[in-house]
Amino acid sequence: MSKTIKIFLLISLVLFFQVGIFPHIAILGVYPNLILILIISLSILKGFKESLLWTIIAGLFLDFYSLSNLLGISVICLLIVSFVAFFLARNIFKKTNPSSVASVFFLTIILYNILLLVSYKIIGNDFEIVFLKILINVLYSSIISVPVFYMIKKLFPVIKP
């Protein structure tokens, strides 16, 4: 299967589940951000630099589909999270077993939520901190991220350091 078809298939699947399926299986109105999971996966598998363009595009996409007044918040947050994921995967959790993968996702998703919170507070957007929702988001996303990661791993070979 050519790289272009793989990418098209992946994006279609992510979008389908993100807008078509997950809203129906939300917990307290919260469901995983598959685009965030996709970017973290690509950063772990392909490296930060190789996934840079996808990170920027995904961030812009998230910004357009948000109520934020400032364009670029999601781009910057995703870039930071993508780098941290890459760093953790290459240095701290070196093996790609399920527990290491889940740990990287757990930490980076927490970081993403914190970065968004801080960014919205700085620009003055009214962003209510609901810890229960954030906790559910982190746990739900971390559980979903492991099978998603391995699915993406099948589509894209790992670039060894």
Going by C-alpha positions, the residue among 68, 73, 67 that lies closest to residue 119 is 73
Write down the least CB distance from residue 161 to other proteins, Å. 5
133 is an interface residue for other proteins by CB under 8 A = yes
Neighbours of 108 (CB within 10 A): 30
Amino acid at site 137: N
CA–CA gap between residue 1 and residue 120 (Å, rounded): 41
- Name residues contacting other proteins, limited to 9-38 (CB under 8 A): 12, 15-16, 18-26, 28-33, 35-36
Residue 24 CB burial class (10 angstroms; 0-12, 13-18, ≥19): exposed
Nearer to other proteins, 16 or 150 (CB): 16
Provide the binding-site residues for other proteins, judged by CB under 8 A. Answer: 12, 15-16, 18-26, 28-33, 35-36, 47, 49, 52, 56, 61-62, 64-67, 70-72, 74-75, 83, 87, 90-91, 126, 128, 130, 132-133, 137, 161
